[in-house]
Amino acid sequence: MFLHIGGDYIVSMKDIVAIVDMEKSTISQDTRNFLKISDEEGFIINVVENEMPKSFIITQEKHKSKIYLSPISTTTLYKRYALIENRQKNKSTNGGLRI
């Protein structure tokens, strides 16, 4: 299953390592350094257009890390993630039938 993270970007849910709130996490100098180094190394993909990112999503895809800067809040991303997971569980427990 895939999670829409903003713009034209989706990521595989199985590849997601963390969904992090930008404002709360960048209070830490360690997080700012991590993002700066990740950007310098080319690991960051900016999904945001004309606005500040609200979250970043860390993924591990085929032994390669990527960090997506997203305009969508962590709360919304978590809700989407949970909704997709619940739908998937309902499909498997109900023989693929929608209830």
- Beta bridge partners, 9, equal 6
Which pTM value belongs to this model? 0.86
Token pair for 29: 């100098």
- Residues 14-69: tens digit of each pLDDT: 999 999 999 999 999 999 999 999 999 999 999 998 889 999 999 998 999 999 99
Domain positions in the chain are: 2-87
- Residues 55-89: tens digit of each pLDDT: 999 999 899 999 999 999 999 999 999 999 998 88
C-alpha pair distances (Å), 5 with each of 12, 22, 28, 84, 93: 10, 14, 24, 13, 27
